[in-house]
Structure 1
């Protein structure tokens, strides 16, 4: 069966769309300013060596809030509705096309077969060393995985490899938090 997987940037945009639905322009601008602050904080935090990253997620969401505010002002929408946003329909069309293309390239002769949609999420893994001094910045990584347990296992494997930031037994995961999509919702 062909498989489709949402990309983290798609999850970030869809998350913003869900939160923006039903908000007025002032509320959208407020949320956009909050997203810009999140980008600023992500810039000054230690850089993550791979994607998805806090900076990438925050940037994507900030751009989406700004785009929605622009669309609302341009179309004079009193309340935001994704149904009235032409870009939402275009993105969904592109996503459907990508789904069909990826499914067809994955399994020849699979055109027309149902596509399994993988329900992966983005998890923020926080951790440090057992001997971390007070005030030391925690180590944060974002993992794209199907469950919190799978994200935990990926993080543990990533940091126990030879040559990693932390050696076997030194690294301790302190939290695993689902950040995209927000817990309880899925596209």
Structure 2
């Protein structure tokens, strides 16, 4: 049985917290502004076929930056220190409890092998196959949770590349697979 060590919203939260460490209020305010811009761009972008989307990720990050600013204001902190952020600590404890509960439930149910997987979120970009592009129609983008870039591409193709699937309907092929959560170099 596969159990995720980190869920997408946990990856987004932890990535922002790691990035915010030691930033002052001005720097956090700048990050809020960037996160709001990113969320605004994602809102007007094309809809994605899954709940896990550019908009979902952008909103998770925006909310987290705003929460960090509010925590700094409340605590009158000059710089952000994750270990002093009670909400961040509580969320990490809850993540670990979720993980332990899922493992215990799997073991109780008699699952022979419990696998804790450290998945990441990947953005799978596409481009129209030569001769099939339509002006003004953006190529579909999909976000998936997977163990590797290769696994993300395989899963995207398995779901959307079959007859009648998104890639077949739009005449697109996968051209890029980019890790978006956690951001490269963050967490693990």
Instruction: Report the Cα offset of residue 52 of structure 1.
Output: 1.2
Partner of 1:125: 124
1:167 counterpart SS class: helix
- Across the aligned residues of Structure 1 and Structure 2, the Cα RMSD in angstroms comes to 2.2
The number of residue pairs the alignment matches comes to: 183
Q: Is the 8 A contact 2:123 2:177 kept in 1?
A: yes
Instruction: Report the Cα offset of residue 168 of structure 1.
Output: 8.4
In the TM superposition, 1:118-157 aligns within 5 A as 118-130=117-129, 131-133=132-134, 136-157=137-158
Give distance in 2, aligned partners of 1:133 and 1:2: 40
- Identify unmatched segments of 5+ residues in structure 2: none
Q: Is the 8 A contact 1:2 1:103 kept in 2?
A: no
In the TM superposition, 1:9-24 aligns within 5 A as 9-24=9-24
Partner of 1:72: 72
Partner of 2:181: 180
Partner of 2:91: 91
1:120-149 CA distances to partner (integer Å, 9 max, x unpaired)?
000011103212245542211101100000
1:123 counterpart SS class: strand
2:138 counterpart SS class: coil
Q: Is the 8 A contact 1:126 1:138 kept in 2?
A: yes
Partner of 1:25: 25
**Runs of 4+, deviation exceeding 2 Å:** 1-5, 133-136, 168-171, 184-187
Cα gap change, 1:156/1:116 in structure 2, threshold over 3 Å: closer, same or farther? closer
Instruction: Report the Cα offset of residue 169 of structure 1.
Output: 10
TM-score scaled by length of structure 1: 0.89
Q: Is the 8 A contact 1:2 1:104 kept in 2?
A: no
Cα gap change, 1:102/1:120 in structure 2, threshold over 3 Å: closer, same or farther? same
- Identify unmatched segments of 5+ residues in structure 1: none
